[in-house]
Amino acid sequence: MELYFLGTGAGIPSKQRNVSAAALRFFNDQGSTWLFDCGEATQHQILYTPLKLSKIDKIFITHLHGDHIYGLPGVLGSRSFQGTETPLTLFGPKGLKDFVQTSLSVSGTFLRYRLEVVEVEDGAVFKERNTVIKVKKLVHGIPSFGYRIEEENQAGSLQVDKLKALGVPPGPLYGQLKEGKQIQLEDGRFINGKDFLGPCKKGRKIAVLGDTRYTEAAIELAKDVDVLVHEATFGAHEQELAHQYYHSTSVQAAKVAKMAEASSLILTHISSRYGENADRLLNEAKEQFVNTYLAKDLWSYSIQP
């Protein structure tokens, strides 16, 4: 998996940062890509990455503020104009369906692919292929959600050398053993596939949160994740301002990562007031949680198995 940050600013675009959007690309699934939020000019940012609109098959909207959804009609329309016919599912808060339908209808935009809009609620759980998506409501001025993506554990590698030492020839039997099944060999012996599998490969876990004040719900979503993507609109000394505008500080984001025992934290949704001085937020967070990164537009982060 790889996370691409297409927009890492807050509220309005700046010369350094576009508004919110991030993409999660799956390398073991023909490049399938999930988009998280879709601020203005997201499709333009995609042009500077290896991502393709045709490969986006899921879009998760955290909340309906303009800096998170105003790029959506353009992405949906361009995906169709390019000839893509594969289905796309859109997840987000109540009201998202009306926004999409109105935008497409008023602009006379026809989609050549099937579009499904799923309006999420607190506690919702979805299963997509070998991945589970969990939804929790956060604390913002309007309904805002966080998404937890859990990859299922995978069976360990088949220990071929051991099988060859027992005289088990390569072929269809290896497939059955890989599935953990018991088989009988031609000489009458029974062997159990589970005895020839290496350690289980632990599924990856990612939490991508929408705009929010510090909240226990964020800690729950981020529990034991490999990567937590959390907003850091304000600096440590502007906690009251962050609370007033329903946002978080760099230190609060780090506190969530620490309490959740996350492996790494990525700060995003950075206010334009910091301009070239955004590293201040990174340094503040690192004092609380060392493994912290500051996202920048067009920066990517690899999530290894």
Q: Of residues 29, 37, 57, 67, which has the active-site annotation?
A: 67
Are residues 151 and 130 in contact, defined by beta-carbon separation less than 8 angstroms? Answer: yes
Q: Could you tell me which residues come within 8 angstroms of residue 44 by beta carbon, excluding any fewer than 6 positions away? A: none
Residue 298 Cα distances to 17, 19, 45, 174, 180, angstroms: 10, 12, 8, 43, 42
Residue 247 among known ligand-binding residues: no
Residue 68 annotated as lining a ligand binding site = yes
44 annotated ligand binder: no
Q: Is 211 annotated as a binding residue?
A: yes
* Annotated catalytic residue 67: yes
Any known ligand binding at 243?
no
CA distances, 302 to each of 2, 205, 254 (Å): 4, 13, 20
237 is in an annotated binding site: no
Sign of CA dihedral 72, 303, 85, 47: positive
Q: Is 67 annotated as a binding residue?
A: yes
CA distances from 256 to 152, 154, 278 (A): 24, 28, 20
Annotated binding residues for Zn(2+): 63, 65, 67-68, 140, 211, 269
Annotated binding residues: 63, 65, 67-68, 140, 211, 269
Active site positions, annotated: 67
